[in-house]
Copies of this chain bind each other. A is one copy, B any other.
Amino acid sequence: MGMAPVAHVLFNRFMNFNPKNPKWLNRDRFVLSNGHGCMLQYALLHLYGYALSIDDLKAFRRIDSITPGHPEAHDTPGVEVTTGPLGQGISNAVGLAIAQAHTAAVFNKPGYDLVNNYTYCFLGDGCLMEGVSAEACSLAGHLQLGNLIAIWDDNKITIDGDTNQAFTEDVLKRYESYGWHVLTVEDGDHNLDKIAEAIQKAKEVTDKPTLIQLKTTIGFGSKNQGTHGVHGSPLKADDIKQLKEKFGFNPEESFAVPQEVYDLCHKAAAKGAAKEEEWNQLFAKYAEEFKAEHDDLVRRQKGDLPEGWEKNLPVYTPSDAAVASRKLSETVLNKIFEAVPELVGGSADLTGSNLTRWKGAIDFQPPATGLGTYAGRYIRFGVREHGMGAIMNGMAAYGTVIPYGGTFLNFVSYAAGAVRLSALSQVRAIWVATHDSIGLGEDGPTHQPIEVLTHFRALPNCMVWRPADGNETSAAYYVALTSKHTPSILALSRQNLPQLEGSTIEKAIKGGYVLHEVEGADITLISTGSEVCIAIDAVKELKEKHNIKARVVSMPCMEVFDAQPKDYRLSVLPDGIPSLSIEVMSTMGWEKYSHEQFGLNRFGASGAYLDVYKKFEFTPEGIAKRAIATIDFWKDVPNIRSPINRAFTQLI
């Protein structure tokens, strides 16, 4: 309630939007970073005429409503990004502002100021305390994002009570140190003109984001105003009654909105609709003069990729050289960057290791720095993995770019909070996650992932790819880029991998496939990434030394494999044969696909890559030993059942 006055000023006097078309490209974006206050946002959306009825408001926090306990972008028209986990919304707002600046730089032309919207964000003390927002806001200052305006609900209260218990830093000074423009409104409860003045000033500073400190009283109007007792708890009945009387509503009616309030809001909305109409005319004119750009922008907003882009994906044969999959990923980027102009991304200060930059890429930088331009497509995120993840979510939500970000696989975990929201809010964001196992060698256990793939495989609507060679790397990019509503993590090796006999893009895009088949096989070996070629060597070892016939399945992406028809899955993992999974990290989750599991359920070791693999027996001999144990253990079981068979299907 403390933010109701500023929300009124912002929506009524400043923001451009058309409730009848919540997807209008040049609308101003509104992000409620302190998402627990979402009743305010739902109420605004309702009042201004978005497709959100009084009944929807009444169903607040009820099952299957479009008004859940925190705002979810894919559920509710007018909600731009999914917020609630603190610090995410403001970081998403930085991503929205980056995408806006980039889209403007690419598409605006003299006389065609097509893209010039602002991103407004409300945030509370909690958002300011979270490290993710510190990362994103430091970068926003560096990037001089003048179209970003954040309004801090400075109510001196958090859930634990007074902010002086834990949060006594000088916030404005901190934001100044980031390069932000900062302002204060002393009386955020009453002084609407001062609020408007501050927003106006913020708009006038075009080379810095602005933070407005708005001093408010939590639960303003409530009998408990100014205490943490009103933080997220519903008001008591008598308090609601006195509050309604105080603000001129009929205390006996619930959810009764005076007609003059609707009228006021609908008038503002009509202005927004007119603005869109004007914009549509401009865009039609643009189509005549800049046909290619126009069509490109239309296409991007649909989420479709340019026709034929996939022809650029590299294809390999076994005679091609062994190459690290991080390097194969670099080759993909070099081949497709021209064909997929909406691909915009970078690395969290590991460009030379992640190999995320194509030749001749221009950096996304403020032109004043001389280091690049806003039309540049390569982002220097700095050592800010969590910020990068949340920024990617905002960029994707803008609707004109596909973001990607590089770091070591192990440090995608730093960004777990943001990756979770990528999945929940169904955005296409791509993690280029190199150094994907103990195979990174010398850096040692602090950098070697063990639990990371399991973690993100268990996250719903998140694809984890671990390609074994060049064709599988191309397949991973193909599926990641064509999955409009799902984020992807591409786990890529530091060490070289041979190009495999039997791999193709077509097979790999099924998530799992038979790489090596043999009549009358004694065992199925299932593996991913850098261990697939060792499994292939184990086939030889088993045949030559033990007269055992093994078939090999490559499973670059479990989630995609799970989506295949059952008969296909059973053809890959058939009944009647025992199976062994091989992956140099946690075995957790592999029981779903294999009878026995060879993995690493402990931390790794610092040493040369081959020494580390040998220590943990990830060699043809180590695999053969366990394959024999598996065959032995299952030989008495008649009619061995493939793990694909299940007693019942899971709810989706």
Contact = CB atoms under 8 A, between A and B. Distances in A.
A347 interface: yes
Interface string A258-300: 0000000000000000000000000000000000000000000
A30 interface: no
Interface string A55-74: 00000011111001110100
A83 B387 CA distance: 21
A221 interface: no
Interface string A189-215: 000000000000000000000000000
A140 to B, nearest CB: 10
A24 interface: no
A638 B617 CA distance: 35
A650 to B, nearest CB: 5
Give the interface residue-count category, chain A.
Answer: 35 or more
A139 B596 CA distance: 47
8 contacts: A69-B446, A70-B443, A159-B349, A159-B353, A167-B382, A173-B174, A588-B592, A616-B651
A168 B179 contact: yes
A587 interface: yes
B69 A443 contact: yes
Contacts of A142: 166-169
A524 to B, nearest CB: 14
A410 B141 CA distance: 30
Interface in A570-620: 586-589, 591-592, 595-596, 599-603, 605-608, 611-612, 615-617
A72 B446 contact: yes
A321 interface: no
B383 A129 contact: yes
Interface stretch (A147-155, A306-314, A450-458, A509-517): A450-458
Contacts of A134: 131, 134-135
A458 B464 CA distance: 16
A35 B446 contact: yes
A485 B173 CA distance: 41
A315 B459 CA distance: 36
B85 A371 contact: no
Given A63-B608, A158-B383, A371 B164 contact: yes
Nearest to A408: B85
In this complex, the member of A350, A369, A446, A648 whose beta carbon has the largest number of chain B beta carbons within 10 angstroms is A446
Contacts of A166: 139, 142, 349, 380-382
Nearest to A562: B601
A634 B648 CA distance: 12
Given A63-B611, A651-B600, A160 B413 contact: no
Interface stretch (A106-114, A245-253, A472-480, A624-632): A624-632
A386 interface: yes
The 4 closest A-B pairs by CB, nearest first: A131-B131, A63-B607, A591-B591, A68-B606
Interface of A: 35, 61-65, 68-70, 72, 82-87, 125-127, 129-135, 138-139, 141-142, 158-160, 164-171, 173-174, 176-179, 347, 349-353, 363, 365, 369, 371, 380-387, 410-411, 413-414, 416-417, 420-421, 423-424, 442-447, 450-451, 454-461, 586-589, 591-592, 595-596, 599-603, 605-608, 611-612, 615-617, 625-626, 629-630, 632-634, 637-639, 641, 643, 645-648, 650-652
B130 A61 contact: no
B608 A62 contact: yes
A458 B455 contact: yes
A556 to B, nearest CB: 18
A276 B633 CA distance: 59
A541 B423 CA distance: 37
Given A178-B174, A413-B416, A601-B650, A450 B442 contact: no
Contact of A65 (B65, B174, B601, B606): B606
Q: Which among A589, A599, A643 has the highest number of chain B CB atoms within 10 Å?
A: A589
A94 to B, nearest CB: 13
B611 A626 contact: no
A413 B82 CA distance: 17
Contacts of A125: 383
Contacts of A443: 69-70, 84
A173 B164 contact: no
A577 to B, nearest CB: 14
A456 to B, nearest CB: 8
Contacts of A353: 159
Given A420-B413, A454-B588, A459-B450, A138 B167 contact: yes
Contact of A130 (B350, B384, B596, B647): B384
Nearest to A440: B69
Nearest to A126: B383
A176 B170 CA distance: 8
Contacts of A141: 168-169
A424 B211 CA distance: 40
B417 A417 contact: no
B384 A131 contact: yes
A131 B68 CA distance: 29
A446 B363 contact: no
